[in-house]
Structure 1
Amino acid sequence: MTQWTVHGTRRIYESEWMSVDLDDVEVPQGERFEHHVLRLPYPSTAVVLVHQDNVLLMWRHRFATDAWGWEIPAGRCEANETPETAAIRETEEETGYRPGRIEPLVTIHPLNGLSSHTTHIFTGSDPVKTGEHDPAEAQKIEWVPLNEIPTYIRKGLIPCGITLAALTTYLTLRTT
């Protein structure tokens, strides 16, 4: 097995949300160079909340890409919080629905060439409405039929990579 060797790390920026490092790396063929790495101190979670063959999606704008799109609820784990607890909390805070049950679906590293970040994705079921969605998180939320998700993807209505990974994994695994 060949893998990159990390000879050292120099921190360029740090906040409570992330750090940016320059890692001194060497590839197996011997070339050595500095590589930028984005490190997040806590993993994040996301939930594919399903009810009666519908999935709960949030229509929102992302300023960094200046793009609108449908997303599943997601957010970071807080210190000493399990991914399961964070997934339930974030779903309820963002959408006003609390999953009655959650099960692990998949764990991904969404930018593994540039970031150490991990996202734990869950399938949620038995939703209970506990309030209204957070307008700072989404313009609107909707229960979208699962059979319409491939059309949403083809039309570019789901630009979020984590949401794409979660929904395509869910749809693939539920049919196998």
Structure 2
Amino acid sequence: MEWKNLGERAVYENPWFRVNLADVELPDGRHLDHFVIRQRAFALTAAVNAKNEVLLLWRHRFITGTWGWELPAGVVDEGESVVEAAAREMLEETGWRAGPLRHLMTVEPANGLSDVLCHVYWADGAEYVSHPVDDFESDRREWVSLERVPEMVRGGAIRSANTVAALMLLHHMRKG
């Protein structure tokens, strides 16, 4: 059953996202107002070293009031490619420059509410360059064994859906 979007009007807008109110026609002909968040794409980077460890950020999310491990991530800037954004965010947030980046997957983290696309890249290895420019984004940065990922997800130490999806896929791909 397909829902039809008959039009939208903006109710709030800033440089990162826009909140629209959509007139949606349901399959039975009824209409409903549905809020839609239109967002810029963002990119994540998973750098995996020779010991099968991934570089993660320990950070606090004030919205949910939780701490957790996450991959470095950020929005794609105007005129920037997705892979350039992934590389830039990795360096800015960790101080490490990832090796050649390869596309791992693209996910829609909240497709019932938002059109945002999350592009995940991964690299074999990274080179330490300097202290991170954006060190305010995380409390610390650590190389964590991919073997520990499932237990960390189950235990709530990794909560971000985008990071969970990326790390579980990498765990599966690199097992054995």
TM-score surpassing 0.5?
yes
Aligned-partner Cα distance in 1 for 2:69–2:102: 22
Residue 31 of structure 1 and its aligned partner are, at CA, apart by 2.1
Q: How does 1:126-165 map to 2 (within 5 A)?
A: 126-133=125-132, 134-165=134-165
Amino acid of the structure 2 residue aligned with 1:144: V
Bigger mean CA deviation after superposition, 164-173 or 137-146: 164-173
Q: How does 1:105-116 map to 2 (within 5 A)?
A: 105-116=104-115
Matched residue of 1:28: which SS? Answer: coil
Aligned-partner Cα distance in 2 for 1:126–1:142: 14
Unaligned runs of 5+ in 2: none
Deviations 1:77-115 (A, max 9, x none): 000110110000000000000112110000011000000
Residue 173 of structure 1 and its aligned partner are, at CA, apart by 3.2
Matched residue of 1:136: which SS? Answer: helix
Amino acid of the structure 2 residue aligned with 1:118: L
Matched residues, number: 174
Amino acid of the structure 2 residue aligned with 1:166: A
Matched residue of 2:136: which SS? Answer: coil
Unaligned runs of 5+ in 1: none
Aligned-partner Cα distance in 1 for 2:175–2:145: 15
Runs (4+) of structure 1 exceeding 6 A deviation are none
Contact 2:147 2:171 in 1 (8 A): no
Residue 135 of structure 1 and its aligned partner are, at CA, apart by 2.4
Amino acid of the structure 1 residue aligned with 2:26: V
Residue 175 of structure 1 and its aligned partner are, at CA, apart by 4.2
Aligned-partner Cα distance in 1 for 2:125–2:148: 21
Residue 17 of structure 1 and its aligned partner are, at CA, apart by 0.8
Aligned-partner Cα distance in 2 for 1:3–1:149: 37
Contact 2:94 2:135 in 1 (8 A): no
Aligned-partner Cα distance in 1 for 2:86–2:128: 16
Contact 2:109 2:117 in 1 (8 A): yes
Aligned-partner Cα distance in 2 for 1:38–1:91: 26
Residue 154 of structure 1 and its aligned partner are, at CA, apart by 1.4
Q: How does 1:75-114 map to 2 (within 5 A)?
A: 75-114=74-113
Residue 171 of structure 1 and its aligned partner are, at CA, apart by 1.7
Residue 36 of structure 1 and its aligned partner are, at CA, apart by 0.5
Quick one: which of 29, 43, 46 aligns to 2:44? 46
Aligned-partner Cα distance in 1 for 2:131–2:29: 56
Matched residue of 1:158: which SS? Answer: coil
Aligned-partner Cα distance in 1 for 2:7–2:72: 36
Amino acid of the structure 1 residue aligned with 2:165: A
